[in-house]
Amino acid sequence: MLQVRKSGERGGADHGWLQSKHTFSFGHYQDPEQTGFGPLLVINEDRVTPGQGFGTHGHRDMEIISYVLDGALEHKDSMGTGSVLHYGDVQRMSAGSGVRHSEFNSSSTAPLHFLQIWIEPNVKGIPPSYEEKHFTPASKQGQFRLIASSDGRDESVLIHQDANIFAGILGAEDQISHALVAGRTAYVHVIRGTITVNGKALSTGDALKISDEALVSFGQADAAEVLLFDLPY
């Protein structure tokens, strides 16, 4: 099964300082047909004005992954972690038994653009933890680079779920496929550019839900940056 989710179909929020697009139900945007895809529950595309951000708030039992697209994301949490993330940085916070954190645009002049991804963990009540890694554009050019996994292999960040997240930067010459083993599904999110996935033409902000397929095939890309989620049913 192939199901396209167009960018314009996403929910939205305009808080002045925050412009957000919600792929799945989140906050005031509630769509019973879009409540997640397997353990993938949230993909929010957030744009934050200079000097603004999310004040201290709490989470429990959630794997929270931030993928910075442009600008500087400042993170502070109740574990004592503090950092500023830029393009190429991937942050993983396992909320576990409970954590409080804040996220701000650390620049007073430049906007911040990032994706926040929530994945439901397969364990609950674990001690909260934090991790970040940097993935260069070269490591994603013409291929899919593993950025998050259940075992932290290939220097990816470790998430507490049987899921793999890949990031790729693909051009017109790139023809790539990803095999899905039995019992697995895939979700493709186009960060920017255009690309064809299993015969479906996608552009910036579009996504594709894939199930009951053996292969995910990518081609006809034009300056595309893409996230590929390999997920359990």
Distance (Å, rounded) from C-alpha 115 to C-alpha 70? Answer: 10
Task: Return the pLDDT at 120.
Answer: 98
**Cα distances (Å, whole numbers) of residue 227 to 48, 94, 230:** 21, 20, 10
Distance (Å, rounded) from C-alpha 27 to C-alpha 10? Answer: 13
Tell me if 157 sits within 8 A of 207, measured CB to CB: no
Distance (Å, rounded) from C-alpha 223 to C-alpha 83? Answer: 29
Distance (Å, rounded) from C-alpha 37 to C-alpha 56? Answer: 28
Give the pairing of strands 2-5 and 53-59.
unpaired
Distance (Å, rounded) from C-alpha 126 to C-alpha 20? Answer: 30
Query: What are the E-state strand segments in 40-98?
Result: 40-48, 53-59, 63-70, 73-77, 82-85, 89-94
Distance (Å, rounded) from C-alpha 43 to C-alpha 228? Answer: 12
Task: Return the pLDDT at 233.
Answer: 87
3-state secondary structure of 140: helix
- Looking at the chain, the whole-number percentage of residues with pLDDT higher than 90 is 100
3-state secondary structure of 31: coil
CATH of the domain at 188: 2.60.120.10
Tokens encoding 207: 């996504």
What is the domain count for the chain?
1
Model confidence pTM above 0.85: yes
Q: What pairs with residue 190 in β-bridges?
A: 226
With a cut of 50, which residues of the chain have pLDDT below it? none
Distance (Å, rounded) from C-alpha 182 to C-alpha 215? Answer: 11
Structural domain boundaries enclosing 124: 2-232
Distance (Å, rounded) from C-alpha 11 to C-alpha 210? Answer: 21
Task: Return the pLDDT at 122.
Answer: 97
Spell out the alpha helix ranges (H) of the chain: 137-140
Distance (Å, rounded) from C-alpha 206 to C-alpha 192? Answer: 9
Distance (Å, rounded) from C-alpha 206 to C-alpha 202? Answer: 6
Task: Mark residue 37 as left, alpha or beta (left: phi above 0; alpha: psi -120 to 50; beta: remaining).
Answer: beta
Q: What pairs with residue 48 in β-bridges?
A: 18, 112
pLDDT tens figures, 89-117: 999 999 999 999 999 999 999 999 999 99
Closest CA to 156 of 135, 178, 183: 135
